[in-house]
Each structure stands twice: as structure tokens, then as C-alpha cells.
Amino acid sequence: MSENKMLQIAMNRYTTKHYSGKQIPREQFNELLEILRLTPSSVNAQAWKFIVASTQEAKDKLMEGFLDFNRERVSKASDIIVFAVPEKITEEHLQKVLDKEIVDGRYAKQDVIEGLDAGRRHFVGLHSHTVSDTLAWETAQAYIALGFVLFAAAGMGIDSTALEGVDYDKLDDILGLRSRGLRSVVAVSLGYRAADDSNAARPKSRLSKEDLFEEFR
């Protein structure tokens, strides 16, 4: 994919307000989930869960977790993904990540394994003084994943909406997250725009380069 193509995706992508109800072909949706799985995270911690709701029954169950203005974007989208992060990054999780890295052949020598594992634990520790510290750090990681899936979806001709109009306590209750030590932090709806989606016709508006960029010398 050329740089120009990437720029075109950025220029053409917009936040969908109204969905048609059409389903994303499962092969394409599974590709999106694989892209989400491959998202980078700080020190490769991968401390997140992606809860997928694709059936109408599942989306209906989630409905009370979203504010009124977002409920149509849940019910008429093809799929909803809720991003959840842990209240604590556990020893079990850290060991699972390390074991998978070893199986995948990331390390050639034992001392490299030990050093990189220690480095990951150091950075996790820096952000684990309180539950609030952990949630803030991992929420930032979740938004990296959100950006990945928004851009990838646009490149595949799939529309999307980042959903922040959420009653997180209610959504956590519906999904049974708190009992698992997890918190929902954002969600995304994916599908195809309705023919009368007014946001599709609005010009994109961003601040100028002069407002946003500074060169340090």
C-alpha cells in the first residue's frame, strides 16, 4: 500500500453516525480481529481483552450500557467490540506473555530472555502503584488498539464509530467484568453507513499544520 493510499484513507475516513444494519462478511471481520490481535503495546504487555458482540441478541444485551445517543450505533452496526483492561497486571499474565514470546522464537539466548522479562516487569511496576495508575496506563494502550482498528476498517471499506458515550459501570456489570478484575474503557461499532448518514457529507475539519506541528532544533 503506497503512502498516498494511506493518506487517502486518512482523508476519507469519518465517524459514522447512522448504520444500515448490513453485516460485515465474516472473513473480513476476522481479518480485523487479527489486526487487533497484532496491535503493539508498551513492553508487549498485551494487557487487554476485546469482547465482541455480533448477534442482535448480544447487542441488545449491551444496550443499557450505552447512552441514548449511541444506542442506534450499537443496534444497527454489524459488530461491537468492547475494549477492557485489567485493574492489575498479574504474574500469571506476565508469565503467559513471556512463554508465548519464547514459543514464537523471539529470543535466542537465555540471558536475553531474562533481561527483557525484567525490563517489562520494571515498566509494569512503574505503572502499578495504584489501580488508577494501572487503568490509566492500560487505557492508553487500549486506545492504540482502537486507532489500529479504526484505520484498518477504513482501509477495508468498513465504517466505524469510537463509542465513548458509555455507562462504564453498567457495561461492566452486563459483561461481568469487575468479578474478573477488568474494566471497560471504550468500545467501537463497525459496519456500513446508512444512505442518509449526514456525517458522510460534512467536510473534514482539522487544525492547520501551523497550529499542530512544532520543529525542535
Structural domains of the chain, ranges and CATH numbers in brackets: 3-89+128-191 (3.40.109.10)
Q: In the sheet where 182-191 sits, what is the strand order?
A: 49-53, 79-86, 182-191, 159-163
Residue 107 is predicted with a pLDDT of 82
Rounded to 5 degrees, φ, ψ at 51 are: -100, 120
Average confidence (pLDDT) over 84-94? 97
Residue 108 has pLDDT above 90, yes or no: no
The predicted model scores a pTM of: 0.95
- What does the CA dihedral 99, 105, 107, 109 come to, rounded to 10 degrees? 100
Q: Over the chain, what is the mean pLDDT? A: 95
pLDDT digits (tens, 9 = 90+) for 38-51: 999 999 999 999 99
Predicted local confidence at residue 91, as pLDDT: 96
Region 16-20: mean pLDDT is: 97
The stretches of the chain forming alpha helices (DSSP H) are 3-12, 26-37, 56-62, 71-75, 91-103, 110-126, 131-155, 168-175, 209-212
Look at residue 158 and tell me whether its pLDDT is greater than 70. yes
- What average pLDDT does this structure show over 185-210? 96
The pLDDT of residue 61 is 98
CA nearest 48: which of 135, 128, 107? Answer: 135
Nearest-CA neighbor of 100 among 113, 111, 109? 113
Give the count of beta carbons closer than 10 Å to the beta carbon of residue 93.
15
* Contact by Cβ (8 Å): 159, 136: no
Residue 15 is classified by DSSP as: B
d(Cα 209, Cα 24) in Å, to the nearest integer?
A: 35
- pLDDT at residue 1 is higher than 60: no
152-169 average pLDDT score: 98
Which of the four pLDDT bands, split at 50, 70 and 90, describes residue 106?
confident
Give mean pLDDT, residues 99-114: 87
Q: Any idea what DSSP says for residue 175?
A: H
**Residue 3 confidence class, pLDDT cut points 50, 70, 90:** low
